[in-house]
Amino acid sequence: MKKVGVAILGLGVVGGGTARILIDRKERIKEEYGVEANIVAVLDKFPERVTNLGLSLDILATSIDDICNNPTVDIVVECMGGLEPAKTFLTKALEAGKSIVTSNKEMFAKSWPDLEKAAQKTGAGLYYEATTGGGMPIIRTMTTAMQANNILEIKAIINGTTNYILTRMTEENADYATVLKDAQALGFAERNPVADVEGYDSSYKLSILSTLAFNKRVPADVIFREGITNITADDIKLGKEMGYIVKLLAIAKQINGKIEARVHPVFLPKSHPLASVSNSFNAVFVTGDAVGDIMTYGRGAGALPTGSAIVSDIIYCARQVEHARYSEIFTEITEDELIKNFESEYYVRLTVHDVPGVLADITNVLKKYNISISQIKQDKNNDIIPITFVTQKAHEFDMMNAVKDIEKLDNIIKVENVIRVEE
Protein backbone atom coordinates (compact mmCIF):
# COMPACT_ATOMS: atom_id res chain seq x y z
CA MET A 1 0.00 0.00 0.00
CA LYS A 2 1.40 3.39 -1.05
CA LYS A 3 0.63 6.11 1.52
CA VAL A 4 0.72 9.75 0.37
CA GLY A 5 0.13 12.92 2.32
CA VAL A 6 -1.83 15.58 0.43
CA ALA A 7 -1.79 19.32 1.14
CA ILE A 8 -4.54 21.43 -0.44
CA LEU A 9 -4.00 25.12 -1.12
CA GLY A 10 -7.46 26.70 -1.15
CA LEU A 11 -10.69 24.99 -0.06
CA GLY A 12 -13.02 26.96 -2.30
CA VAL A 13 -15.23 25.36 -4.95
CA VAL A 14 -12.55 23.22 -6.59
CA GLY A 15 -10.45 22.59 -3.48
CA GLY A 16 -13.54 21.68 -1.49
CA GLY A 17 -14.71 19.32 -4.23
CA THR A 18 -11.30 17.68 -4.34
CA ALA A 19 -11.25 17.20 -0.56
CA ARG A 20 -14.75 15.75 -0.59
CA ILE A 21 -13.79 13.15 -3.22
CA LEU A 22 -10.62 12.20 -1.33
CA ILE A 23 -12.63 11.71 1.86
CA ASP A 24 -15.62 9.92 0.35
CA ARG A 25 -13.64 7.65 -2.00
CA LYS A 26 -10.69 6.95 0.28
CA GLU A 27 -11.41 3.26 0.83
CA ARG A 28 -12.26 2.57 -2.79
CA ILE A 29 -9.04 4.26 -3.94
CA LYS A 30 -7.09 2.09 -1.49
CA GLU A 31 -8.75 -1.10 -2.71
CA GLU A 32 -8.62 -0.41 -6.44
CA TYR A 33 -5.35 1.50 -6.81
CA GLY A 34 -3.28 0.61 -3.78
CA VAL A 35 -2.97 4.26 -2.75
CA GLU A 36 -3.92 5.62 0.66
CA ALA A 37 -4.29 9.37 0.14
CA ASN A 38 -4.63 11.36 3.34
CA ILE A 39 -5.27 15.10 3.61
CA VAL A 40 -2.54 16.12 6.03
CA ALA A 41 -2.44 19.89 5.50
CA VAL A 42 -4.69 22.70 4.26
CA LEU A 43 -3.87 26.33 3.55
CA ASP A 44 -7.00 28.48 3.64
CA LYS A 45 -8.17 31.70 5.29
CA PHE A 46 -11.43 30.19 6.52
CA PRO A 47 -11.14 27.55 9.28
CA GLU A 48 -14.82 26.64 8.91
CA ARG A 49 -14.07 25.20 5.46
CA VAL A 50 -11.86 22.64 7.18
CA THR A 51 -14.31 21.71 9.90
CA ASN A 52 -17.25 21.59 7.46
CA LEU A 53 -15.47 18.72 5.74
CA GLY A 54 -15.12 16.88 9.05
CA LEU A 55 -11.37 17.51 9.16
CA SER A 56 -9.39 18.55 12.22
CA LEU A 57 -8.15 22.12 12.54
CA ASP A 58 -4.79 20.58 13.45
CA ILE A 59 -4.09 20.29 9.71
CA LEU A 60 -4.69 24.00 9.03
CA ALA A 61 -1.36 25.57 8.02
CA THR A 62 -0.56 29.24 8.50
CA SER A 63 1.84 29.60 5.56
CA ILE A 64 3.26 27.78 2.54
CA ASP A 65 6.45 27.32 4.55
CA ASP A 66 4.53 25.21 7.06
CA ILE A 67 3.54 22.91 4.20
CA CYS A 68 6.98 22.82 2.57
CA ASN A 69 8.58 21.94 5.93
CA ASN A 70 5.99 19.27 6.75
CA PRO A 71 7.60 15.85 6.18
CA THR A 72 4.21 14.14 5.89
CA VAL A 73 3.30 16.16 2.76
CA ASP A 74 4.14 14.41 -0.50
CA ILE A 75 1.80 16.15 -2.95
CA VAL A 76 0.67 19.78 -2.94
CA VAL A 77 -2.65 20.48 -4.68
CA GLU A 78 -3.17 24.10 -5.78
CA CYS A 79 -6.77 25.26 -6.14
CA MET A 80 -6.29 28.97 -5.48
CA GLY A 81 -6.40 30.42 -8.99
CA GLY A 82 -4.61 33.52 -10.21
CA LEU A 83 -0.96 34.01 -11.04
CA GLU A 84 0.26 34.94 -7.58
CA PRO A 85 0.78 33.77 -4.96
CA ALA A 86 0.02 30.44 -6.68
CA LYS A 87 3.22 30.37 -8.74
CA THR A 88 5.43 31.32 -5.78
CA PHE A 89 3.76 28.75 -3.54
CA LEU A 90 4.13 25.92 -6.08
CA THR A 91 7.73 26.85 -6.81
CA LYS A 92 8.53 26.62 -3.11
CA ALA A 93 6.78 23.27 -2.90
CA LEU A 94 8.75 21.88 -5.86
CA GLU A 95 12.01 23.17 -4.41
CA ALA A 96 11.11 21.30 -1.21
CA GLY A 97 10.72 18.10 -3.24
CA LYS A 98 6.91 18.04 -3.15
CA SER A 99 5.12 17.03 -6.33
CA ILE A 100 2.35 19.39 -7.41
CA VAL A 101 -1.13 19.03 -8.87
CA THR A 102 -2.85 22.14 -10.23
CA SER A 103 -6.08 23.18 -11.95
CA ASN A 104 -4.82 26.73 -12.56
CA LYS A 105 -4.70 27.10 -16.36
CA GLU A 106 -3.53 30.73 -16.56
CA MET A 107 -0.72 30.27 -14.05
CA PHE A 108 0.37 26.95 -15.56
CA ALA A 109 0.24 28.18 -19.16
CA LYS A 110 2.40 31.19 -18.28
CA SER A 111 4.72 29.49 -15.78
CA TRP A 112 5.14 25.89 -16.99
CA PRO A 113 8.85 26.26 -17.96
CA ASP A 114 9.71 27.90 -14.63
CA LEU A 115 7.88 25.22 -12.67
CA GLU A 116 9.61 22.49 -14.67
CA LYS A 117 13.03 23.96 -13.88
CA ALA A 118 12.19 23.91 -10.16
CA ALA A 119 10.88 20.33 -10.43
CA GLN A 120 13.96 19.08 -12.26
CA LYS A 121 16.22 20.07 -9.39
CA THR A 122 14.44 17.81 -6.91
CA GLY A 123 12.85 15.20 -9.17
CA ALA A 124 9.34 16.25 -8.13
CA GLY A 125 6.41 15.84 -10.50
CA LEU A 126 4.03 18.27 -12.22
CA TYR A 127 0.47 17.15 -12.87
CA TYR A 128 -2.07 19.38 -14.58
CA GLU A 129 -4.95 17.33 -16.00
CA ALA A 130 -7.53 19.68 -14.50
CA THR A 131 -6.13 22.78 -16.22
CA THR A 132 -7.70 21.88 -19.55
CA GLY A 133 -11.25 20.66 -19.77
CA GLY A 134 -12.14 20.21 -16.10
CA GLY A 135 -13.07 16.57 -15.57
CA MET A 136 -12.36 15.62 -19.19
CA PRO A 137 -9.19 13.44 -19.36
CA ILE A 138 -7.54 15.03 -22.39
CA ILE A 139 -4.02 15.53 -20.99
CA ARG A 140 -3.54 11.89 -20.06
CA THR A 141 -5.11 10.84 -23.37
CA MET A 142 -2.44 12.81 -25.21
CA THR A 143 0.48 11.80 -22.99
CA THR A 144 -0.24 8.11 -22.41
CA ALA A 145 -2.64 6.96 -25.13
CA MET A 146 -1.34 8.66 -28.28
CA GLN A 147 2.38 7.90 -28.16
CA ALA A 148 2.20 6.17 -31.54
CA ASN A 149 0.96 9.35 -33.22
CA ASN A 150 2.15 12.65 -34.52
CA ILE A 151 -0.73 14.92 -33.57
CA LEU A 152 -1.76 16.88 -36.62
CA GLU A 153 -4.69 18.94 -35.40
CA ILE A 154 -6.68 19.95 -32.34
CA LYS A 155 -10.14 21.51 -32.43
CA ALA A 156 -11.62 22.12 -29.01
CA ILE A 157 -14.54 23.61 -27.14
CA ILE A 158 -12.77 24.31 -23.86
CA ASN A 159 -14.75 27.11 -22.26
CA GLY A 160 -18.07 26.12 -20.73
CA THR A 161 -19.28 29.70 -20.24
CA THR A 162 -19.12 30.66 -23.91
CA ASN A 163 -20.52 27.31 -24.99
CA TYR A 164 -23.48 27.82 -22.65
CA ILE A 165 -24.06 31.33 -24.02
CA LEU A 166 -23.85 30.28 -27.67
CA THR A 167 -26.08 27.25 -27.05
CA ARG A 168 -28.79 29.44 -25.51
CA MET A 169 -28.50 31.96 -28.33
CA THR A 170 -28.79 29.15 -30.89
CA GLU A 171 -31.70 27.32 -29.32
CA GLU A 172 -33.73 30.35 -28.26
CA ASN A 173 -32.78 32.94 -30.90
CA ALA A 174 -31.80 35.14 -27.93
CA ASP A 175 -29.38 38.06 -28.01
CA TYR A 176 -25.91 37.97 -26.44
CA ALA A 177 -26.52 40.56 -23.69
CA THR A 178 -29.65 38.79 -22.38
CA VAL A 179 -28.03 35.36 -22.25
CA LEU A 180 -24.86 36.72 -20.63
CA LYS A 181 -26.94 38.28 -17.84
CA ASP A 182 -28.70 34.93 -17.30
CA ALA A 183 -25.37 33.09 -17.29
CA GLN A 184 -24.05 35.45 -14.61
CA ALA A 185 -27.17 34.97 -12.50
CA LEU A 186 -26.79 31.18 -12.73
CA GLY A 187 -23.09 31.28 -11.88
CA PHE A 188 -21.91 30.10 -15.32
CA ALA A 189 -20.28 33.48 -16.04
CA GLU A 190 -18.25 35.73 -13.75
CA ARG A 191 -19.38 39.25 -12.92
CA ASN A 192 -16.48 40.35 -15.12
CA PRO A 193 -16.74 37.80 -17.96
CA VAL A 194 -13.85 39.10 -20.10
CA ALA A 195 -11.54 36.10 -19.57
CA ASP A 196 -14.21 33.77 -20.93
CA VAL A 197 -16.08 35.75 -23.58
CA GLU A 198 -12.96 37.32 -25.12
CA GLY A 199 -11.21 33.96 -25.43
CA TYR A 200 -8.40 34.39 -22.89
CA ASP A 201 -9.37 31.29 -20.91
CA SER A 202 -9.42 29.17 -24.07
CA SER A 203 -6.07 30.57 -25.21
CA TYR A 204 -4.41 29.51 -21.93
CA LYS A 205 -5.78 26.00 -22.37
CA LEU A 206 -4.79 25.87 -26.04
CA SER A 207 -1.29 26.97 -25.08
CA ILE A 208 -1.01 23.91 -22.83
CA LEU A 209 -2.54 21.51 -25.36
CA SER A 210 -0.57 22.71 -28.38
CA THR A 211 2.72 22.82 -26.47
CA LEU A 212 2.14 19.24 -25.40
CA ALA A 213 0.95 18.08 -28.82
CA PHE A 214 3.64 19.63 -30.98
CA ASN A 215 6.68 19.52 -28.65
CA LYS A 216 7.19 23.24 -29.06
CA ARG A 217 6.40 25.98 -26.56
CA VAL A 218 3.34 27.90 -27.78
CA PRO A 219 2.76 30.80 -25.36
CA ALA A 220 -0.77 32.11 -24.99
CA ASP A 221 0.22 35.56 -26.18
CA VAL A 222 1.15 34.32 -29.68
CA ILE A 223 -2.24 32.64 -30.16
CA PHE A 224 -4.66 34.53 -32.43
CA ARG A 225 -7.64 35.41 -30.24
CA GLU A 226 -11.13 36.79 -30.87
CA GLY A 227 -14.13 36.60 -28.55
CA ILE A 228 -17.86 36.04 -28.99
CA THR A 229 -19.18 39.50 -28.11
CA ASN A 230 -19.92 40.40 -31.75
CA ILE A 231 -21.99 37.27 -32.43
CA THR A 232 -25.64 38.21 -32.96
CA ALA A 233 -28.91 36.33 -33.14
CA ASP A 234 -29.05 37.29 -36.84
CA ASP A 235 -25.70 35.59 -37.50
CA ILE A 236 -26.79 32.44 -35.70
CA LYS A 237 -30.12 32.32 -37.58
CA LEU A 238 -28.46 32.82 -40.98
CA GLY A 239 -25.75 30.30 -40.14
CA LYS A 240 -28.37 27.69 -39.27
CA GLU A 241 -30.10 28.32 -42.59
CA MET A 242 -26.77 27.67 -44.32
CA GLY A 243 -26.19 24.47 -42.34
CA TYR A 244 -23.86 25.77 -39.62
CA ILE A 245 -23.67 25.95 -35.81
CA VAL A 246 -21.50 28.60 -34.11
CA LYS A 247 -18.94 27.64 -31.44
CA LEU A 248 -15.96 29.31 -29.80
CA LEU A 249 -13.18 26.99 -30.93
CA ALA A 250 -9.56 26.61 -29.92
CA ILE A 251 -7.71 25.36 -33.01
CA ALA A 252 -4.12 24.21 -33.38
CA LYS A 253 -2.61 22.61 -36.46
CA GLN A 254 0.82 21.36 -37.42
CA ILE A 255 1.43 21.92 -41.14
CA ASN A 256 4.77 21.18 -42.82
CA GLY A 257 6.70 21.70 -39.60
CA LYS A 258 4.92 24.95 -38.74
CA ILE A 259 2.18 25.59 -36.19
CA GLU A 260 -0.99 27.63 -36.28
CA ALA A 261 -2.85 28.35 -33.06
CA ARG A 262 -6.04 30.38 -32.83
CA VAL A 263 -9.12 30.94 -30.68
CA HIS A 264 -12.21 32.53 -32.22
CA PRO A 265 -15.89 31.94 -33.06
CA VAL A 266 -16.35 29.37 -35.82
CA PHE A 267 -19.23 28.16 -37.93
CA LEU A 268 -19.14 24.36 -37.98
CA PRO A 269 -21.24 22.12 -40.24
CA LYS A 270 -24.13 20.62 -38.26
CA SER A 271 -22.67 17.18 -39.04
CA HIS A 272 -19.37 17.84 -37.22
CA PRO A 273 -19.14 16.02 -33.84
CA LEU A 274 -18.28 19.26 -32.04
CA ALA A 275 -21.45 20.95 -33.33
CA SER A 276 -23.58 18.83 -30.97
CA VAL A 277 -21.58 19.74 -27.84
CA SER A 278 -23.96 22.02 -25.97
CA ASN A 279 -24.44 24.04 -22.78
CA SER A 280 -21.43 24.01 -20.42
CA PHE A 281 -19.93 20.78 -21.77
CA ASN A 282 -16.45 20.73 -23.28
CA ALA A 283 -14.96 18.53 -25.98
CA VAL A 284 -11.57 18.12 -27.65
CA PHE A 285 -11.32 16.70 -31.17
CA VAL A 286 -7.80 15.44 -31.91
CA THR A 287 -6.41 14.10 -35.19
CA GLY A 288 -3.39 11.79 -35.06
CA ASP A 289 -1.53 10.49 -38.10
CA ALA A 290 -2.05 6.86 -37.02
CA VAL A 291 -5.29 6.80 -35.01
CA GLY A 292 -7.20 9.35 -37.08
CA ASP A 293 -9.89 11.34 -35.25
CA ILE A 294 -10.76 10.92 -31.58
CA MET A 295 -12.92 13.08 -29.32
CA THR A 296 -13.09 13.45 -25.55
CA TYR A 297 -16.21 14.97 -24.01
CA GLY A 298 -17.22 16.02 -20.52
CA ARG A 299 -17.94 18.77 -18.05
CA GLY A 300 -15.37 21.53 -18.24
CA ALA A 301 -15.81 23.03 -14.79
CA GLY A 302 -17.41 22.59 -11.38
CA ALA A 303 -16.38 21.30 -7.99
CA LEU A 304 -16.70 17.56 -8.60
CA PRO A 305 -15.74 17.35 -12.31
CA THR A 306 -12.56 19.36 -11.73
CA GLY A 307 -11.97 17.58 -8.43
CA SER A 308 -12.25 14.29 -10.30
CA ALA A 309 -9.34 15.28 -12.57
CA ILE A 310 -7.28 16.47 -9.60
CA VAL A 311 -7.81 13.24 -7.64
CA SER A 312 -6.92 11.28 -10.76
CA ASP A 313 -3.64 13.21 -10.90
CA ILE A 314 -3.00 12.55 -7.20
CA ILE A 315 -3.43 8.79 -7.69
CA TYR A 316 -1.39 8.79 -10.90
CA CYS A 317 1.39 10.83 -9.27
CA ALA A 318 1.49 8.53 -6.23
CA ARG A 319 1.99 5.46 -8.42
CA GLN A 320 4.87 6.84 -10.49
CA VAL A 321 8.38 5.53 -9.96
CA GLU A 322 9.79 8.41 -11.97
CA HIS A 323 7.96 11.58 -12.95
CA ALA A 324 7.70 12.76 -16.55
CA ARG A 325 10.02 15.60 -17.53
CA TYR A 326 9.04 18.29 -20.01
CA SER A 327 12.18 20.36 -20.54
CA GLU A 328 12.55 19.11 -24.12
CA ILE A 329 9.35 20.88 -25.22
CA PHE A 330 10.30 24.32 -23.98
CA THR A 331 12.05 25.57 -27.09
CA GLU A 332 9.76 28.50 -27.77
CA ILE A 333 8.14 28.79 -31.16
CA THR A 334 9.77 31.36 -33.44
CA GLU A 335 8.06 33.85 -35.73
CA ASP A 336 9.08 31.75 -38.74
CA GLU A 337 7.47 28.64 -37.22
CA LEU A 338 4.13 30.33 -36.45
CA ILE A 339 1.45 30.39 -39.16
CA LYS A 340 -0.33 33.73 -38.84
CA ASN A 341 -1.75 33.85 -42.37
CA PHE A 342 -3.85 30.72 -41.88
CA GLU A 343 -6.48 29.40 -44.28
CA SER A 344 -10.20 29.30 -43.61
CA GLU A 345 -13.57 29.71 -45.22
CA TYR A 346 -15.41 32.88 -44.21
CA TYR A 347 -19.01 33.90 -43.53
CA VAL A 348 -19.57 37.59 -44.28
CA ARG A 349 -22.75 39.55 -43.53
CA LEU A 350 -23.25 42.97 -45.13
CA THR A 351 -25.89 45.67 -45.22
CA VAL A 352 -26.00 47.40 -48.61
CA HIS A 353 -28.02 49.80 -50.75
CA ASP A 354 -30.07 47.78 -53.23
CA VAL A 355 -28.75 49.30 -56.45
CA PRO A 356 -27.64 47.66 -59.69
CA GLY A 357 -24.06 46.42 -59.61
CA VAL A 358 -23.60 46.28 -55.84
CA LEU A 359 -23.02 42.53 -55.86
CA ALA A 360 -20.67 42.82 -58.84
CA ASP A 361 -18.62 45.41 -56.94
CA ILE A 362 -18.28 43.00 -54.02
CA THR A 363 -17.26 40.05 -56.19
CA ASN A 364 -14.73 42.22 -58.03
CA VAL A 365 -13.02 42.99 -54.72
CA LEU A 366 -12.99 39.30 -53.81
CA LYS A 367 -11.61 38.45 -57.25
CA LYS A 368 -8.75 40.89 -56.65
CA TYR A 369 -7.70 38.71 -53.70
CA ASN A 370 -8.42 35.41 -55.48
CA ILE A 371 -11.39 34.64 -53.20
CA SER A 372 -14.42 32.71 -54.48
CA ILE A 373 -17.96 32.53 -53.07
CA SER A 374 -19.51 29.13 -52.30
CA GLN A 375 -22.89 30.25 -50.86
CA ILE A 376 -24.84 33.50 -50.98
CA LYS A 377 -28.14 34.81 -49.56
CA GLN A 378 -29.66 38.10 -50.71
CA ASP A 379 -32.96 39.67 -49.71
CA LYS A 380 -34.88 41.75 -52.22
CA ASN A 381 -37.58 44.42 -52.49
CA ASN A 382 -36.03 46.88 -50.03
CA ASP A 383 -33.89 49.95 -50.51
CA ILE A 384 -31.48 48.60 -47.90
CA ILE A 385 -30.85 44.85 -47.93
CA PRO A 386 -28.67 42.28 -46.19
CA ILE A 387 -26.28 40.18 -48.23
CA THR A 388 -24.67 37.14 -46.64
CA PHE A 389 -22.10 34.91 -48.30
CA VAL A 390 -19.64 32.16 -47.46
CA THR A 391 -16.33 32.00 -49.27
CA GLN A 392 -14.25 29.07 -50.34
CA LYS A 393 -10.90 28.70 -48.57
CA ALA A 394 -8.87 31.88 -48.42
CA HIS A 395 -5.89 33.21 -46.51
CA GLU A 396 -6.63 35.32 -43.43
CA PHE A 397 -4.63 38.35 -44.57
CA ASP A 398 -6.28 38.34 -48.02
CA MET A 399 -9.73 38.09 -46.47
CA MET A 400 -9.18 40.90 -43.99
CA ASN A 401 -7.80 43.16 -46.75
CA ALA A 402 -10.78 42.30 -48.94
CA VAL A 403 -13.16 43.23 -46.12
CA LYS A 404 -11.42 46.61 -45.74
CA ASP A 405 -11.80 47.25 -49.45
CA ILE A 406 -15.46 46.18 -49.43
CA GLU A 407 -16.15 48.64 -46.58
CA LYS A 408 -14.93 51.47 -48.85
CA LEU A 409 -17.37 50.69 -51.67
CA ASP A 410 -19.99 53.41 -52.29
CA ASN A 411 -23.07 51.29 -51.73
CA ILE A 412 -21.86 49.32 -48.70
CA ILE A 413 -23.54 50.57 -45.55
CA LYS A 414 -21.75 48.24 -43.15
CA VAL A 415 -19.85 44.96 -42.92
CA GLU A 416 -21.90 43.58 -40.05
CA ASN A 417 -19.78 40.53 -39.21
CA VAL A 418 -17.09 38.17 -40.42
CA ILE A 419 -17.00 34.65 -38.94
CA ARG A 420 -14.57 31.92 -39.91
CA VAL A 421 -15.90 28.57 -41.11
CA GLU A 422 -14.21 25.22 -40.37
CA GLU A 423 -15.14 21.99 -42.11
How much is the pLDDT for 199?
A: 97
Region for residue 324 given its phi and psi (left: phi exceeds 0; alpha: psi -120 to 50; beta: otherwise): beta
Query: Which residues does residue 297 pair with via DSSP β-bridges, in sequence order?
Result: 283
Alpha helix stretches (DSSP H) within 34-154:
47-51, 64-68, 86-95, 105-122, 138-144
Please give the single-letter amino acid code of residue 307.
G
Average pLDDT over residues 44-52: 95
Domain ranges of the chain: 2-131, 138-299, 343-421
Decide if pLDDT at 326 tops 80: yes
State how beta strands 412-421 and 99-102 pair.
unpaired
Q: Which helix (H) or strand (E) holds 340?
A: none
Average pLDDT over residues 41-57: 96
Q: What average pLDDT does range 203-229 have in this prediction? A: 96
The mean pLDDT of 319-342, rounded to a whole number, is: 92
Residue range 65-80: average pLDDT?
97
| pLDDT of res. 381 | 66
| Residue 205 bears catalytic tag | yes
Angle at alpha carbon of residue 323, lines to 318 and 326, rounded to 5° = 140
- pLDDT tens for each residue of 153-188: 999 999 999 999 999 999 999 999 999 998 888 877
**Which of these is catalytic: 87, 155, 205, 247?**
205
> Residue 301: what pLDDT?
77
Instruction: Return the CATH architecture of domain 138-299.
Output: 2-Layer Sandwich (3.30)
Q: Three-class SS of residue 326? A: coil
Percentage of residues of the chain with pLDDT beyond 70: 100
Top pLDDT among 406 and 326 is at 406
Residues 249-294 have pLDDT tens digits of: 999 999 999 999 999 999 999 999 999 999 989 999 999 999 999 9
Is domain 2-131 in CATH 3.90.25.10, yes or no?
no
- Kindly state the DSSP code that residue 372 receives in the 8-state scheme: -
Average pLDDT for residues 231-236, to the nearest whole number?
Answer: 95
Per CATH, 2-131 and 138-299 having the same topology is answered no
Name the phi and psi angles at 298, rounded to 5.
Answer: 175, -175
According to CATH, the topology of domain 343-421 is Alpha-Beta Plaits (3.30.70)
**How much helix, strand and coil, in percent to the nearest 5, is found in the chain?**
40, 30, 30
- Region 139-154: mean pLDDT is 92
Helix axes 13-24, 26-33, angle to 10 degrees: 60
